[in-house]
C-alpha cells in the first residue's frame, strides 16, 4: 500500500524495489504453520524520500519502518538467484545419507533426467555459505584426543558431529525464510538523528506505522506503569491511583478497564495476555482479561516490582520488606522466598538469557539471584549512590545501570562484570530499557533518550543519542514493544507510544510468539509451553550447565566406590616384581627393582614434559622472532 | 600312531624292527603273557615272511659271531649287546638291489620312536579347540551384519523388505505389457491419440500448450482463475450468510425482489432470445402444475386453519390469509405462451376482437378481489396491457420502482443493521487497497474539518487571549475526543501548512508558546515549535552530544560543559560523602572470602604433655605440629575483580538434573558432552532436522513377523540390508547369488562328530539365533 502522495507538494513515490501488493486471501503460497495474520495492510513499509525542493528544509531523510514479519517462502527460483549470487563464498553441501547417495548414483547414470522429461537446471541441493552455517554450530569440541579411541566411541562421536553439521546446514537454509529487514533512521549528510522529531518520523512512514505513534491522555490516575505482552500485541497499563487497563494496542481494542481502588505499584502480563498480575498496595492480585480478580496472593505483600519469567512460569516479586519471592503461576506455589538483606527493593529486572533476576540496591550494588540459591549469585558494585534502574539486553550480554550519582553505565555480564562505558547525565536516568535489537532507552525526568550501538551485537554507545522524545509528563516506566519499532513510555499524564526505527526484531517465530495468533493457536501454544516448562531450580548463571557432566559428584561417586570396594578398579595396577629364584628375590632386591621401575616411569614423564616445554619455547621464539636477529652483544644491554 | 603307518615293504620292515625290539626282553603285560603262544606263532610267520621278502635273492650266508647260530634267524642272545640297525644295514650297503629298502630304512632311522597315543582328556580338549576355532571362524561372517545393525541410525523390522520400490520406475514401466483385453484396448487408444505411455505426466498437447503459453499469459490466466474462484467463494459465503438470516421479513422481501427480477429478465429475454424465454415459460408452467398438484397455498394447512380461526378478529391474520390465497392464484394462473410471433399476432387479434371490458370482467371474475390486489397485477396485467400507451406503462413502472425502492431501502437497512452488529462484535477487518484509498480520502476530509474547527478554536482563543480560557479549553477538548487520540496529524499538519501558510502558523505558535508547559501540544505543527524543545533537550543532554560534531560546536561551550560536569561531580561527591559505599562493599567481599575459605583445624590440646594451670602457653612448635592445614582450593573467581563478589556455592538443586555418571563407551567427559551438545527439541531445530533427530531407533511394522536374520541372507550378500538399489537389476541380468557353500564341517565326518559331541559349545543353530536376537532387541537398548 502506498501512501497517497500529497496533492500540493508534487512528491512522487519512489524506490519501489520491494513493492508488495496487498495479499488477498486467495493468494496462496503461505506456509500453514503461520496463517496469514492480517490481510495486506499490515506488512508494508514505504520508502518515500521527500523531494529536495519541498518547503520543509529539514525533511530529507530516509526512514524505513519495516513491518513485521512473517516467514515467507520465496519461490525456488528466487532462492536460486539469491544463492547463485553468493558463489564467491565458500559453499557447503550437506552430507547426504545413504539413500541420497544412491539417488545421486542414479542421476549419474541418467544425467538430469526426470520422469517427466523436464531437466532440473540446478540439480542437487542448493549450496549454503559456510558463514551462515557456522552461525548455527554449537562451538568446537573441548577435549583433545591423546590416545586412540575405541571404535564404538569413535562411531558415536562421528554420528554426533554429522548430526550437528546437518542440523546447522538445515538451520542455515531456513534462514532464507527470515525475509524481513530491520528498520533504520538515517539523517541526511551528517544530520543528527537525535534532532529528528517524532512528527517527522510519523510523516515519513506509512499510515499503519504512523498509527503506532499515539498518546493516551490519562491525567487523572497518576503515573502509569506499563507492560507489553510477549507477543507485543497487548498492552497493560497500571496507574498509580488504581487505574488498570489492558488492550490490544494495535487495533486499540480495549480488553478491560477497572479501577482497583488501591495504589498500583506495578503491572505485568503472565504467560498470555489473558492473565495479568497487579502489584497493589498490600497484596499481589491476579486478574483475567475481563478484569475479574482471580487470585489475591497474600504471601506476596507490599510488592513494588514484578517480573515474569516466561519459560519457567515464574512470577518474581520484589517487595518493600526486602523479600524476593518466586511464584510458580502454573501450579500456584511459591517456589522460593529469598531475603535480600538490602532494605526496600524497588529496582528489578530479569536477564532474558538465563532468567536470573537483577536487583538494584540503595548501596550502589546490583545483585543477581536465582531461586535455588539463598544468597546472591553475583554482587556487583555499580554506583556510588543507590541504583535507580537496571536493564539487561536480550542476549544477556550487557547490563545497563543508572544510579543516584547521575551515571549511566553499561556492564559486561560475560564473567567479568566490568563497566564498558559510563556517562554522566545531568539528571540521571530513572528508567532504562533495552530493545530486542540492543537499543537502550533511558527516561530522564520527562525526556526519553535512546542510544544505539555501532553494529549488531555491540553495546550502545552513550556518546550520542539516537533519538530523543519528550512526552508530556514525568516518565514512570519504559518498555520497548517486542517485534515492533515502538517504545512505550508510561508517564504522569498517561502513556505515549514512540516510534523508534530499528528497535524491534523484524522476524518473529510464529510458533513461539506470534503477534497474529488466533485464540486457538494461543491455546495450543499454552499447552506446549506448559509441557516445556523449565524447573525453577535450573536457573543459573550459565544455562548451558545442564549439558555438562557434574564433575564434582562424578568424582565424589568414584571416591565412594573406591572406598566401598577397597580398591580402585580403574586404577593402573602397581608394578609387582616377579618372583625369581636362586636368592635373587630377596626383600632388598624386590624393593630395588620396584624403585627402578618407578624411576623409569618418572624419567619418562620428565622427558615428555621437557619436550613439551621445548616445543612451546620454539613456538614462542618463532612468534617473537619478527624483530632483528639477536646479536652477541645483546647480553650487555641494560 | 596308527595313522602314520606306511604300507608295503616298509610295513614289513617296521614289523621287523618291532620284532627285533621284542627280541630284547621287552616288558610284557599280563595279557601278552596269555597270548604268548599266539605270539610265538606270529613270530614264526614273520620270520617266514622275511625269508620270502625277496623271492629272487635268497638270504646270504651269515657270518656273525654269536653264541647261538641259527640258519633261520638272527639272534643277539648271549652277547649282551643291542642290535643296531646300522650293523644290519652294513652288509646291504654294497648290493644295489636293496636300494629302495635302504632308503626306507634310513627314513625309519631318522624317525624317533613313536609317541604314545594321547590320553582321552587331551584328545577331547584338542578336538574342542579345533571345533571352537572352526565355529568362531564361521561366526565371523555375522560380524559385519551385527556391527552394521548396531551402527544403524534406524532399524526397520522386519529387516527383509521387498525392494519393489527400489527398482527404477522406468524399468518397471518398460517391462510391463498389456495383457488383458481391456488394457490392450486402452493402449490402442493411447497409441492412436499419441498419448505418452511411459511418461504419464504431460501429454503432447499439454506440452505444446506449455510451449505456446508464455509465462506472462500463464500468470494472467492464473490470476483470472484465482479471481474467479475468489468471487465464487465470496458469493457462496454471502449466500450462506444470507441464508442464515432468521428475519422472515427479510426473506419475504428478498423473495419478492427476486421474483420481480426474474420477471423483468423474462421480459427482456422474450425480446432478445425467444427460445430461452420459452424455456423460462416452461419452467413457470411447471411451477403452476406443481402448485395445482399441491395444497401448499390453500387454506388446508395447519397454519391456514389456525389463521382462519384468527381471521375473524385479527386484521393481520386476514391479510396473511388473503396473501396466501393470492399467491395460490398467482401461481395457478395459466400463462400465455408468447413464443411465436404468429401467436402473438393471434393474441393481438384476439385482443382486438374482444372488448377490453370483457377482459376486465374476466380478470375480475377470475382473479381475486380487486381490493386484494395491491402490488400484484403485474403478472396478470402485463401481457394484455402491452399494447397500452407508453405513459401508463411508465407510470406503472414507476410505481413498481417505488415499491422496489421501498423494499430496497428496507433490505439495505436490514443489511446495514446486520453489518453494524457484526462490526461491533468482530474487530475491524483489514481492508483492501481500494477501501484504504477511500479511507484515506475520508481521513483527509475529516482532517480538514478538524482543522477548520481547530482554527476556529484558536481564533477564539486569540480573541479571548486569557489564560483561564486556555486552561478550560483543553479539558473540553479532552471530553470531546475519545480517550485514544490516534492523531491523524500527518495529513493535518501538511494540510495546515498548505492552507494556512507559514505566517499564520508562526503566529499561532507564538500564541501557543506560553501554554506549552501546561498543555500537551496536540496540534503539533512545524518548525519553531519543533526547534524549541530540541534546544531544551540539547541543554539537558550534556556536552558529549556537542562533541560529536566539533566543527559546528564552539570550543568554549565544551569547556563550559566540562566545568559543569566537574561541578556536578563535586556536588555528587559531597552528597554521597556520608555513606562510603566502596568500603562497605570491600568489607562484604572480605567476609564472603573468609566464609568460603576452608578452615584449618587446630588439634593441639593445651596442657597435654606440659604443665597446666593459668598462663598456659602452647608452644609454636606444638601448634604447628597439630594444625591440620586446609586443602588449598582453587582461586576465587572474583579474585581479580575488585567490584564483584561471585558466590562460590554450588547450585545443588540444579546439579541434581545434571548427568553424574560417564556413560559406557566414553572415557572422558568431554567426549560425552560432545555427543549431547546439539539440542534435539523443535525450538532449536527446523522441522525436518527435529524429526530426524527424534526418529525412533527401532521401527516395527505392525502385523509383520520379525524373524531372526537368515543365514543364507548373510552368506549371499552381506550388504543386503543396505537396500541396494540395483539388487533387482542384478537379477535381471541373470545374476544369481552363489549357492551357499557346503560347510566344511560336514565334509569330514569326524569333525562333524566332534562338534556334535562337544558339550561346552552351543550347537551352531542356537548360537546364531542368540546373536540375531541380540542384534535386534536387547542390544539396541544396550547401545543407546
Spatial contact of A317 and A300, defined as CB atoms under 8 Å apart: yes
Residue B302's pLDDT is what? 82
DSSP B297-351: TSTTSHHHHHHHHHHTT-HHHHHHHHHHHHHHHHHHSPPP---SHHHHHHHHHHH
Is B677's CB within 8 Å of A160's CB?
Answer: yes
User: What phi-psi label fits residue A428: left (phi over 0), alpha (psi between -120 and 50 degrees) or beta?
Assistant: left
Highest mean pLDDT among A109-123, A613-627, B212-226: B212-226
Average pLDDT over residues B378-386: 41
3-state secondary structure B487-538: CCHHHHHHHHHHHHCHHHHHHHHHHHHHHCCCCCCCCCCCCHHHHHHHHHHH
**How confident is the model over B708-722, as pLDDT tens digits?**
888 877 765 444 444
Q: How far apart are CA B301 and CA B304, in angstroms?
A: 5
pLDDT reading at A537 higher than 70: yes
Range scoring the smallest mean pLDDT among A426-435, A456-465, B542-551, B628-637? B542-551
**How confident is the model over B162-179, as pLDDT tens digits?**
555 555 666 666 677 778
**Mean pLDDT, chain A, whole residue set:** 82
Highest mean pLDDT among A129-143, A162-176, B191-205, B314-328: A162-176
Residue B459's pLDDT is what? 52
Does the CB of A531 have a partner CB in chain B at under 8 Å? no
Helix or strand run (H / E) with residue A318: strand A314-319
Is B658's CB within 8 Å of A546's CB?
Answer: yes
Residue B304's pLDDT is what? 82
Average pLDDT over residues A574-589: 85
Radius of gyration from C-alpha coordinates of chain B: 61
Chain A, residues 275-294, CB within 8 A of chain B, namely none
Residue A356: partners with Cβ closer than 8 Å, 6 or more residues away: A350, A368, A369, A370, A377, A539, A540, A541
Residue B570's pLDDT is what? 67
Range scoring the smallest mean pLDDT among A61-70, B245-254, B756-765? B756-765
Best of A412, A550, A572 to substitute, by most chain B Cβ atoms within 10 angstroms, is: A550
Q: Tell me the three cell numbers of residue A270.
A: 503472565
Q: How confident is the model at residue A241 (pLDDT cuts 50, 70, 90)?
A: very high
Q: How confident is the model at residue B189 (pLDDT cuts 50, 70, 90)?
A: confident
pLDDT reading at A300 higher than 90: yes
pLDDT reading at B594 higher than 80: yes
Task: Tell me the shortest Cα–Cα distance from A601 to chain B, in angstroms.
Answer: 23
Spatial contact of B325 and B297, defined as CB atoms under 8 Å apart: yes
Residue of chain B whose alpha carbon sits nearest to that of A161: B675
Write down the pTM of the prediction: 0.55
Is B678's CB within 8 Å of A141's CB?
Answer: no
Q: How far apart are CA A508 and CA B422, in angstroms?
A: 31
Range scoring the smallest mean pLDDT among B410-414, B418-422, B622-626, B763-767? B763-767
Residues of chain B with C-beta less than 8 angstroms from the C-beta of A174: 686
Is B661's CB within 8 Å of A248's CB?
Answer: no
Residue B133: partners with Cβ closer than 8 Å, 6 or more residues away: none
3-state secondary structure of A133: helix
Residue B184's pLDDT is what? 86
Q: How confident is the model at residue A557 (pLDDT cuts 50, 70, 90)?
A: very high
Chain B, residues 580-599, CB within 8 A of chain A, namely 581-582, 584-585, 588
Q: Tell me the three cell numbers of residue A418.
A: 566490568
Average pLDDT over residues B455-481: 45
| CA distances (Å), origin A27, targets A36, B227, B352, B721 | 10, 9, 63, 46
Residues of chain B with C-beta less than 8 angstroms from the C-beta of A464: 544-545, 548
Q: Across the interface, which of B153, B485, B489 has its CB nearest the CB of A217? A: B485
Residue of chain B whose alpha carbon sits nearest to that of A413: B644
Does the CB of A166 have a partner CB in chain B at under 8 Å? yes
Average pLDDT over residues A165-187: 91
Q: How confident is the model at residue A107 (pLDDT cuts 50, 70, 90)?
A: very low
Q: How far apart are CA B544 and CA B533, in angstroms?
A: 18
Is B168's CB within 8 Å of A106's CB?
Answer: yes
Q: Across the interface, which of B226, B544, B670 has its CB nearest the CB of A142? A: B670
Task: Tell me the shortest Cα–Cα distance from B535 to chain A, in angstroms.
Answer: 9
Average pLDDT over residues A494-517: 93
Residue B634's pLDDT is what? 83
Average pLDDT over residues A468-480: 94
Q: How far apart are CA A304 and CA A325, in angstroms?
A: 12
User: Cell 491523524 appears where?
Assistant: B488
Is A214's CB within 8 Å of B533's CB?
Answer: no
pLDDT reading at A280 higher than 60: yes
Buried residues in B71-104 as b, exposed as e (16+ CB within 10 A)? eebbbbeeeeeeeeeeeeeeeeeeeeebeebeeb
Rounded to a whole number, what is the largest CA-CA distance in chain B?
A: 185
User: Cell 541504583 appears where?
Assistant: A387
Task: Tell me the shortest Cα–Cα distance from B769 to chain A, in angstroms.
Answer: 24
pLDDT reading at A212 higher than 80: yes
Q: Are strands B698-700 and B155-157 parallel, antiparallel or unpaired?
A: parallel
| CA distances (Å), origin B99, targets A244, B52, B54, B474 | 129, 17, 13, 146
pLDDT reading at B73 higher than 90: no
Nearest one of B483, B496, B484, B503 to B523, comparing CA atoms: B496
Does the CB of A104 have a partner CB in chain B at under 8 Å? no
Residue B569's pLDDT is what? 67
Residue B738's pLDDT is what? 40
pLDDT reading at B148 higher than 80: yes
Q: Across the interface, which of B440, B650, B657 has its CB nearest the CB of A546? A: B657
Residues of chain A with C-beta less than 8 angstroms from the C-beta of B569: 424
Residue A210's pLDDT is what? 94
Residue of chain B whose alpha carbon sits nearest to that of A249: B484
The sign one gets for the Cα dihedral A568, A573, A574, A578 is positive
User: Cell 624386590 appears where?
Assistant: A590
Residue of chain A whose alpha carbon sits nearest to that of B693: A163
pLDDT reading at A50 higher than 80: no
Chain A, residues 554-573, CB within 8 A of chain B, namely 554, 557
Nearest one of A490, A481, A448 to A465, comparing CA atoms: A448
3-state secondary structure of A434: strand
Best of B153, B219, B671 to substitute, by most chain A Cβ atoms within 10 angstroms, is: B671
Is A170's CB within 8 Å of B685's CB?
Answer: yes
**How confident is the model over B413-451, as pLDDT tens digits?**
666 666 655 544 444 444 444 444 454 455 455 555 655
Buried residues in B246-277 as b, exposed as e (16+ CB within 10 A)? eeeebeebbeebeebeebeebeebbeeeeeeb
pLDDT reading at B568 higher than 60: yes
Residues of chain A with C-beta less than 8 angstroms from the C-beta of B670: 141-143
Q: How far apart are CA B296 and CA B329, in angstroms?
A: 12
Residues of chain A with C-beta less than 8 angstroms from the C-beta of B655: 550, 552-553
Average pLDDT over residues B87-111: 74
Q: How far apart are CA A626 and CA B249, in angstroms?
A: 100
Task: Tell me the shortest Cα–Cα distance from A614 to chain B, in angstroms.
Answer: 28
Q: Tell me the three cell numbers of residue B183.
A: 488394457
| CA distances (Å), origin A110, targets A64, A146, A297, A474, B92 | 50, 47, 72, 75, 85
Share of chain B above pLDDT 70, in %: 48
Q: How far apart are CA B68 and CA B311, in angstroms?
A: 170
Task: Tell me the shortest Cα–Cα distance from B453 to chain A, in angstroms.
Answer: 20
Average pLDDT over residues B739-753: 37
pLDDT reading at B674 higher than 70: yes
**Mean pLDDT, chain B, whole residue set:** 66
Residue scoring higher pLDDT (B4 or B271): B271
Is B545's CB within 8 Å of A4's CB?
Answer: no
Residue B196's pLDDT is what? 67
Residue B760's pLDDT is what? 37
Q: How far apart are the first and last CA of chain B?
A: 56
Q: How far apart are CA B419 and CA B413, in angstroms?
A: 10
Range scoring the smallest mean pLDDT among A283-297, B72-86, B194-208? B72-86
pLDDT reading at A498 higher than 80: yes
Amino acid at each position: 500500500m502506498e501512501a497517497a502522495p500529497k496533492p500540493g507538494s508534487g512528491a512522487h513515490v519512489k524506490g519501489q524495489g520491494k513493492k508488495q501488493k496487498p495479499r488477498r486471501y486467495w493468494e496462496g503460497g503461505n506456509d500453514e504453520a503461520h496463517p496469514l495474520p492480517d490481510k495486506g495492510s499490515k506488512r508494508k513499509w514505504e520508502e518515500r524520500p521527500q523531494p529536495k525542493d519541498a518547503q520543509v528544509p529539514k525533511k530529507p531523510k530516509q526512514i524505513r519502518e519495516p513491518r513485521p514479519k512473517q516467514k515467507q517462502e520465496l519461490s525456488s527460483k528466487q532462492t536460486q538467484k539469491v544463492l547463485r549470487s553468493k558463489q564467491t563464498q565458500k559453499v557447503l553441501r550437506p552430507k547426504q545419507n545413504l539413500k541420497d547417495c544412491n539417488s545421486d548414483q542414479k542421476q549419474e547414470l541418467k544425467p538430469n533426467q526426470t520422469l517427466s522429461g523436464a531437466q532440473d537446471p540446478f540439480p542437487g541441493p542448493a549450496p549454503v555459505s559456510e558463514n551462515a552455517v557456522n552461525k548455527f554450530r554449537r562451538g568446537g569440541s573441548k577435549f583433545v584426543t591423546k590416545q586412540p579411541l575405541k571404535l564404538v566411541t569413535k562411531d558415536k562421536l562421528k554420528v554426533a558431529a554429522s548430526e550437528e553439521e546437518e542440523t546447522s546446514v538445515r538451520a542455515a537454509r531456513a534462514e532464507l525464510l527470515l525475509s524481513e529487514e530491520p528498520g533504520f533512521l538515517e539523517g541526511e549528510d551528517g544530520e543528527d538523528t537525535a534532532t529528528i522529531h517524532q512528527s517527522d518520523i510519523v510523516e515519513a512512514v506509512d499510515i499503519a506505522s504512523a498509527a503506532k505513534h499515539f498518546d493516551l491522555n490519562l491525567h487523572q490516575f497518576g503515573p502509569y506503569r506499563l507492560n507489553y505482552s510477549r507477543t507485543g500485541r497487548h498492552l497493560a497499563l497500571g496507574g498509580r491511583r488504581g487505574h488498570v487497563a489492558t488492550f490490544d494496542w494495535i487495533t486499540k481494542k480495549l480488553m478491560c478497564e477497572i479501577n482497583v481502588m488501591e495504589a498500583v505499584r506495578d503491572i505485568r502480563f503472565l504467560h498470555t495476555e489473558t492473565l495479568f498480575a497487579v502489584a497493589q498496595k498490600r497484596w499481589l492480585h491476579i486478574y483475567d482479561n475481563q478484569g475479574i480478580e482471580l487470585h489475591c496472593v497474600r504471601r506476596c505483600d507490599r510488592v513494588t516490582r514484578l517480573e515474569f519469567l516466561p519459560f519457567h512460569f515464574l512470577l518474581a516479586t520484589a517487595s518493600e520488606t526486602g523479600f524476593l519471592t518466586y511464584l510458580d503461576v502454573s501450579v500456584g506455589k511459591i517456589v522460593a522466598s529469598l531475603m535480600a538483606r538490602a532494605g526496600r527493593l524497588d529496582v528489578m529486572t530479569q536477564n532474558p538469557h538465563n532468567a536470573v533476576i537483577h536487583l538494584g540496591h540503595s548501596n550502589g550494588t546490583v545483585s543477581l539471584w536465582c531461586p535455588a540459591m539463598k544468597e546472591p549469585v553475583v554482587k556487583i558494585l555499580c554506583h556510588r549512590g543507590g541504583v535507580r534502574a537496571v536493564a539487561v539486553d536480550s542476549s544477556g550480554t550487557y547490563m545497563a545501570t543508572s544510579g543516584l550519582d547521575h551515571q549511566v553505565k553499561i556492564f559486561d555480564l560475560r564473567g567479568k562484570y566490568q563497566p564498558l562505558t559510563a556517562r554522566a547525565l545531568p539528571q540521571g536516568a530513572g528508567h532504562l530499557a533495552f530493545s530486542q535489537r540492543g537499543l537502550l532507552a533511558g527516561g530522564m525526568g520527562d525526556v526519553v533518550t535512546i542510544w544505539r550501538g555501532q553494529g549488531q551485537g555491540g553495546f550502545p554507545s552513550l556518546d550520542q543519542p539516537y533519538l530523543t522524545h519528550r512526552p508530556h509528563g514525568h516518565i514512570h516506566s519504559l518498555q520497548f514493544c517486542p517485534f515492533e519499532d515502538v517504545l512505550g513510555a508510561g508517564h504522569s499524564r498517561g502513556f505515549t507510544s514512540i516510534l523508534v526505527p530499528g528497535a524491534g526484531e523484524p522476524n518473529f517465530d510464529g510458533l513461539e510468539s506470534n503477534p497474529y495468533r488466533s485464540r486457538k493457536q494461543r491455546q495450543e501454544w499454552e499447552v506446549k509451553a506448559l509441557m516445556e516448562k523449565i524447573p525453577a531450580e535450573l536457573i543459573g548463571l550459565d544455562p548451558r550447565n545442564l549439558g555438562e557432566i557434574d564433575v564434582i559428584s562424578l568424582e565424589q561417586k568414584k571416591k565412594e566406590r573406591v572406598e566401598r570396594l577397597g580398591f580402585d578398579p580403574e586404577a593402573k595396577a602397581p608394578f609387582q616384581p616377579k618372583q625369581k629364584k636362586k636368592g635373587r628375590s630377596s626383600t632388598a632386591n624386590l624393593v630395588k627393582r620396584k624403585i627402578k621401575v618407578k624411576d623409569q616411569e618418572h624419567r619418562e614423564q620428565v622427558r615428555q614434559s621437557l619436550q613439551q616445554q621445548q616445543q612451546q619455547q620454539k613456538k614462542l621464539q618463532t612468534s617473537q622472532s619478527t624483530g632483528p636477529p639477536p646479536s652477541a652483544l645483546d647480553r650487555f644491554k641494560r | 600312531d596308527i595313522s602314520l603307518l606306511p604300507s608295503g615293504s616298509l610295513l614289513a620292515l617296521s614289523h621287523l624292527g618291532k620284532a627285533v625290539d621284542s627280541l630284547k626282553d621287552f616288558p610284557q603285560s599280563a595279557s601278552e603273557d596269555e597270548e604268548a603262544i599266539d605270539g610265538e606263532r606270529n613270530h614264526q610267520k614273520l620270520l617266514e615272511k622275511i625269508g620270502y621278502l625277496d623271492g629272487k635273492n635268497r638270504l646270504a650266508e651269515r657270518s656273525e659271531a654269536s653264541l647261538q647260530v641259527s640258519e633261520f634267524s638272527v639272534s643277539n642272545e648271549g652277547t649282551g649287546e643291542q642290535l643296531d640297525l646300522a650293523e644290519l644295514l652294513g652288509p646291504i650297503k654294497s648290493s644295489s638291489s636293496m636300494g629302495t629298502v635302504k632308503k626306507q630304512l634310513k627314513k625309519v632311522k631318522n624317525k624317533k620312536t613313536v609317541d604314545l597315543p594321547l590320553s582321552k582328556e587331551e584328545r577331547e580338549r584338542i578336538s574342542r579347540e579345533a571345533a571352537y576355532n572352526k565355529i568362531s571362524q564361521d561366526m565371523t561372517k555375522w560380524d559385519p551384519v551385527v556391527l552394521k545393525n548396531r551402527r544403524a541410525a534406524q532399524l526397520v523390522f522386519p529387516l527383509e523388505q521387498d525392494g519393489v520400490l527400489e527398482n527404477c520406475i522406468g524399468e518397471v514401466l518398460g517391462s510391463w505389457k498389456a495383457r488383458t483385453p481391456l488394457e490392450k484396448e486402452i493402449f490402442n487408444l493411447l497409441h492412436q491419440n499419441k498419448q505418452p505411455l511411459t511418461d504419464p505426466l504431460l501429454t503432447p498437447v499439454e506440452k505444446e500448450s506449455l510451449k505456446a503459453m508464455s509465462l506472462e499469459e500463464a500468470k494472467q490466466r492464473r490470476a483470472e482463475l484465482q479471481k474467479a474462484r475468489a468471487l465464487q467463494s465470496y458469493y457462496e459465503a454471502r449466500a450462506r450468510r444470507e441464508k442464515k438470516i432468521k428475519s422472515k421479513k427479510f426473506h419475504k422481501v428478498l423473495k419478492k425482489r427476486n421474483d420481480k427480477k426474474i420477471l423483468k429478465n423474462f421480459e427482456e429475454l422474450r425480446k432478445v432470445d425467444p427460445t430461452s424465454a420459452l424455456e423460462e415459460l416452461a419452467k413457470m408452467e411447471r411451477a403452476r402444475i406443481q402448485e395445482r398438484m399441491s395444497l401448499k397455498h390453500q387454506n388446508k394447512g395447519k397454519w391456514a386453519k389456525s389463521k382462519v380461526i384468527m381471521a375473524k378478529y385479527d386484521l393481520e391474520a386476514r391479510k396473511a390469509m388473503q396473501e396466501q390465497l393470492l399467491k395460490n392464484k398467482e401461481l395457478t394462473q395459466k400463462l400465455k405462451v408468447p413464443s411465436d410471433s404468429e401467436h402473438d399476432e393471434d393474441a393481438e387479434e384476439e385482443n382486438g376482437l374482444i372488448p377490453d371490458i370483457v377482459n376486465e370482467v374476466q380478470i375480475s371474475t377470475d382473479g381475486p378481489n380487486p381490493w386484494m390486489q395491491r402490488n400484484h397485477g403485474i403478472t396478470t396485467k402485463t401481457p394484455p396491457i402491452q399494447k397500452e400507451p407508453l405513459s401508463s406503462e411508465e407510470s406503472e413502472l414507476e410505481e413498481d420502482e417505488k415499491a422496489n425502492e421501498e423494499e430496497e431501502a428496507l433490505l439495505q437497512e436490514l443489511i446495514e443493521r446486520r453489518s453494524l452488529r457484526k462490526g461491533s462484535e468482530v474487530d475491524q477487518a483489514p481492508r483492501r487497497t481500494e477501501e484504504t484509498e477511500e479511507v484515506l480520502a475520508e481521513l483527509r476530509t475529516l482532517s480538514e474539518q478538524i482543522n477548520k474547527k481547530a482554527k476556529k478554536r484558536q481564533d477564539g482563543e486569540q480573541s479571548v487571549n486569557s489564560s483561564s480560557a486556555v486552561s478550560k479549553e483543553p479539558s473540553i477538548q479532552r471530553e470531546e475526543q475519545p480517550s485514544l487520540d490516534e492523531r491523524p496529524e500527518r495529513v493535518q499538519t501538511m494540510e495546515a501548512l498548505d492552507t494556512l501558510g507559514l505566517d499564520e502558523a508562526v503566529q499561532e505558535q507564538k500564541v501557543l508558546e506560553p501554554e506549552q508547559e501546561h498543555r500537551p501540544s496536540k496540534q503539533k505543527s512545524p518548525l519553531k515549535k519543533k526547534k524549541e524543545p530540541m534546544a531544551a533537550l540539547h541543554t539537558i543532554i550534556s556536552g558529549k552530544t556537542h562533541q560529536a560534531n566539533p566543527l559546528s560546536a564552539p570550543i568554549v561551550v565544551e569547556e563550559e560543559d566540562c566545568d559543569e560536569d566537574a561541578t556536578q561531580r563535586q556536588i555528587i561527591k559531597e552528597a554521597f560523602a556520608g555513606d562510603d559505599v566502596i568500603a562497605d562493599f570491600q568489607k562484604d567481599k572480605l567476609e564472603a572470602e573468609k566464609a568460603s575459605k576452608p578452615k584449618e583445624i587446630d588439634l593441639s590440646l593445651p596442657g597435654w604433655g606440659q604443665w597446666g594451670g593459668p598462663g598456659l602457653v602452647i608452644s609454636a612448635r606444638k601448634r604447628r605440629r597439630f594444625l591440620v592445614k586446609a586443602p588449598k582450593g582453587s582461586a576465587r573467581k572474583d579474585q581479580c575483580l575488585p567490584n564483584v563478589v561471585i558466590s562460590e556455592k554450588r547450585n545443588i538443586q540444579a546439579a541434581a538434573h545434571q548427568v553424574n555418571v560417564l556413560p559406557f563407551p566414553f572415557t572422558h567427559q568431554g567426549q560425552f558432552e560432545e555427543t549431547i551438545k546439539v539440542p534435539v527439541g523443535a525450538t532449536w531445530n527446523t522441522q525436518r532436522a527435529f524429526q530426524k533427530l527424534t526418529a525412533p531407533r527401532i521401527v516395527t511394522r505392525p502385523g509383520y513377523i520379525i524373524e531372526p536374520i537368515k543365514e543364507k541372507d548373510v552368506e549371499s550378500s552381506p550388504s543386503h540390508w543396505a537396500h541396494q538399489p540395483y539388487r533387482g537389476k542384478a537379477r535381471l541380468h541373470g545374476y544369481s547369488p552363489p549357492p551357499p557353500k557346503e560347510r566344511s564341517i560336514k565334509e569330514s565326518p569326524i569333525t562333524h562328530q566332534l562338534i556334535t559331541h562337544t558339550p561346552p559349545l552351543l550347537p551352531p543353530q542356537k548360537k546364531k539365533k542368540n546373536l540375531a536376537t541380540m542384534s535386534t532387541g536387547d542390544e539396541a537398548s544396550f547401545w543407546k
